[in-house]
Structure 1
Amino acid sequence: MHRHAYDSQCVAEERRHTLATSAIRNPKLTLAALALGTFAIGTGEFGSNGIIQLIASDLDVSVPVATYPITAYAFGVMLGSPAITLLAARVNRRTLLLGLIALFLIGNTLSALAPNITLLVAFRFVTGSVQGAFFGAGAVVAAYTYGPGKGGKAFATVMGGLTVATIAGSPLGTFVGQHAGWRVMYATVVAVGVLAGAALVAWLPRTDDLRGSSLTGELGALRRRGVWLMVTVAALGISSIFAVYTFIGPFITDAARRSASLIPVALAVFGLGMAVGNQVGGRIADEYENRGLLWGYGGALAFLVLIGAAGDNLLVLLPCLFAVGATMMLAIPTIQVRLTSFAPDAPTLMGTLNLAALNLANCLGAIGGAIALDAGWGTLSTVWPGFLLTTVGLLLYVMTVARAKPAPVPARA
């Protein structure tokens, strides 16, 4: 079944959009600026994982304590981003994006200068607060650039910068941190952020079509059952990504018994899978209502079983890492489109909640995997909590959300 219940509006919207988007001087550069922004954000987020030991040594804390800034960043995305999105409900999306990239630069600059772990935790929370709001507002601008009926492709474009960060940005950030210090890593992220900010200033359209909405409308979206069901489906289902990604290092060295030098290769393979799945998922989300999520979650479950059963063989492990990244990312644009269908009058907030759900999934997957390891079930056992959570998310979607009708589309949505 085609996913749009409001196809009759699309012709009129296309005509309006053709006139309205005259404010966009070069659509490709607008989209590139948004992707560069999410690349900078992703590099700062994922690059932090590779410098934990350096932070611990320099600030004279234990390694577990050195993970607190990463946890604080995740809480910034889950709590700070929705708060910023609601407070800035009436702000034009161009203005909001420029303000967010400025806050991103401030947060990372302060992180590079943090004299102790307490302030570093605070600065990472502030920096994390940017992420979800930026993705939400960026998805609105991308959707405006693409035109009606392209919400999945728009969100995939914004997510594209994040997937590239997993392939190139994170390894580069880790390399810089290891050879020049963790503070220089954050300074490098600032430099990339400055480039992104300049691109956003130059190429984001200036138009009242990107004006914000009322705070009442945004809050009204939070009262809709479908929104919270989709957030739950996302948080549960996507957790299997992090039940794998978090433990790629032990998979290579302990399970497959290979050199640690292969870990960056495995991370890059996983990132390539995410990039491919994201692009394909954007197209599927715009054409089909449910298939992206059903295929994504279902495919991921199959490959999780393969990793759990035969992941000690590198020839099995590497293709499965690619496949898990691809199948899980296949689902994420559909999650965004379905979220927006339940609250079409609050698209920025829906993008923010999507990213908040993904960060909650990060926590769930990592915690589930750690519990399996602590129980002595073996290195590859981390996939089974992810398998369980994704199964619950898939069943919840099929039973409650898959056939739910979208909300009526407001004239401005």
Structure 2
Amino acid sequence: MKQLAILMFCVFSVTTGEFAVAGILPDVAADLGVPVGQAGLLITAYAAGMIIGGPVLTALTTGASRKPLMLALLGVAVVGNIGSALAPTFATVLAARVLTALVTSTFFAQAMVLAVRLGPPERAATAVARLALGMSLAMVIGAPIGTVIGHHWGWRATFGGIGVACLAGLLLVARAVTDPEPGERRGSAIGELRVLRRRPVIGALAVTAVGNVGVLMVFSYLAPLMTEVAGRAANGLPMLLLAYGVGATVGNLLGGFVFDRRPQSALPLLLGALAVALVVSWLVATSPLPGAAAVVVIGALGFAVIPGMQARVMSAAADAPTLAMAVNASGYQVAAAAAGLIGGLITDSGAGPRPIYLVAAVLTACGLALSSWTARQSERSTLLRRRTPEWRTTR
């Protein structure tokens, strides 16, 4: 439990750097003399670094020992965040953010595999959920704290604080975290890349990319949905975001608990419940109180599906889970990018932002259908292996 808590803190520290940027963008733009839109490239470049750099770096470091690699990755996160705090120009801040993004997915993947192996196999989803709680807390606590620090002591203090937190995580890992499989034989980069060709792995990764678009669309456009559609005051949005984050945290832990007990049916059930919640949100969208309650439910269900998605990827790629988890993290970023694009097109249309709920429900239903199909394919493959005579499997 102690080691899992340390890994959770490290995930919290690293991912706070991703979420906190949004709250200090105007401060960065004003201080460095660039438009806010240009400063937004810090978010875009970070996402691109995770999407592209994470899987590539993970593949290149396949043969490295897990704990020394994690220490090195945390060291790069320290350098990237402190470098962001000290950078004299926007270009150097951008370069420092990209450097930090390159190690984020790889560290998360390494920490995820280690967290699962620290506990019993039947509680894998619970371990995933607890580690992912660090990411949820980065959204609920880390980002608001980073914003407050930035507004009071400057945006450089925000990055400096994140760098110090990453350094503390590095020291804790070095002192207290042990690899349960120090002599683990890890394959080559080519061997791990071959795992990504398997249908169960591709299916599990596709579920992550498709199944998260809807809920991320609602989160990305929560402000216009609440102010323009529900008629809530803009000054109430911080509390609503906090409520969403609390729901997400509870849902994340609940999702891991449910998946460990019903690994075959939990993910389709939760995706189905999320699709229904999105439709209900569309029905009550113009009512401030029911609309706000629906948003909290969406946050809970949206994060409840994540442990099951991640556990499925790890199960499908059991002999190369680290690279698969890095690619899975990239899939989540792809979903976020798609959510921003589709949600923007809907919001700018004549219908306004309200149809986002219905489109999100349809996309979530697509994730549900894909999840059910991949689960049936996996069961069919298992049955075929059991029915195939041993002499045929060893030829």
Q: TM-score surpassing 0.5?
A: yes
Q: Decide whether aligned partners of structure 1 residues 51 and 381 sit closer, same or farther in structure 2, where only a CA change above 3 A counts.
A: farther
1:88 to 57, 61, 70: 61
What are the residue-to-residue correspondences of 1:158-307 with 2, within 5 Å?
158-206=131-179, 208-209=181-182, 211=184, 213-215=186-188, 216-307=190-281
In the other structure, the counterpart of 1:385 is 359
Contact kept in structure 2, 1:290 and 1:334, CA below 8 Å:
no
Moved more, 53-62 or 33-42: 53-62
1:138 to 65, 88, 111: 111
Contact kept in structure 2, 1:369 and 1:383, CA below 8 Å:
no
1:213 alignment partner, SS class: coil
2:378 alignment partner, SS class: coil
Residue 168 of structure 1 deviates from its aligned partner by 0.9
Distance 1:167 1:210 in 2: 38
In the other structure, the counterpart of 2:344 is 370
Distance 2:376 2:19 in 1: 32
Moved more, 82-91 or 240-249: 240-249
1:149 alignment partner, SS class: helix
TM-score, normalized by length of structure 1? 0.87
Structure 1 portions without partners, runs of 5+? 1-27, 409-413
Distance 1:266 1:210 in 2: 48
Contact kept in structure 2, 1:284 and 1:291, CA below 8 Å:
no
Structure 2 portions without partners, runs of 5+? 386-395
Contact kept in structure 2, 1:155 and 1:336, CA below 8 Å:
yes
TM-score, normalized by length of structure 2? 0.91
Contact kept in structure 2, 1:230 and 1:401, CA below 8 Å:
no
Number of residue pairs aligned between Structure 1 and Structure 2: 381
Percent of pairs with identical residues: 30
Distance 1:217 1:153 in 2: 28
Distance 1:329 1:186 in 2: 27
Distance 1:211 1:106 in 2: 29
Letter in 2 for 1:95: P
Moved more, 393-402 or 219-228: 393-402
In the other structure, the counterpart of 2:10 is 37
Q: CA RMSD in A?
A: 2.0
Contact kept in structure 2, 1:108 and 1:123, CA below 8 Å:
yes
Residue 32 of structure 1 deviates from its aligned partner by 0.8
In the other structure, the counterpart of 1:8 is none
1:106 to 49, 74, 79: 79
What are the residue-to-residue correspondences of 1:48-127 with 2, within 5 Å?
48-127=21-100
1:348 to 306, 318, 322: 322
Contact kept in structure 2, 1:132 and 1:355, CA below 8 Å:
yes
Moved more, 154-163 or 297-306: 297-306
Q: CA offsets, 1:50-90, max 9 Å, x none?
A: 11222222222222222111011111111111111111111
Q: Decide whether aligned partners of structure 1 residues 54 and 402 sit closer, same or farther in structure 2, where only a CA change above 3 A counts.
A: farther
Residue 259 of structure 1 deviates from its aligned partner by 3.0
Distance 1:160 1:336 in 2: 13
Contact kept in structure 2, 1:76 and 1:129, CA below 8 Å:
yes
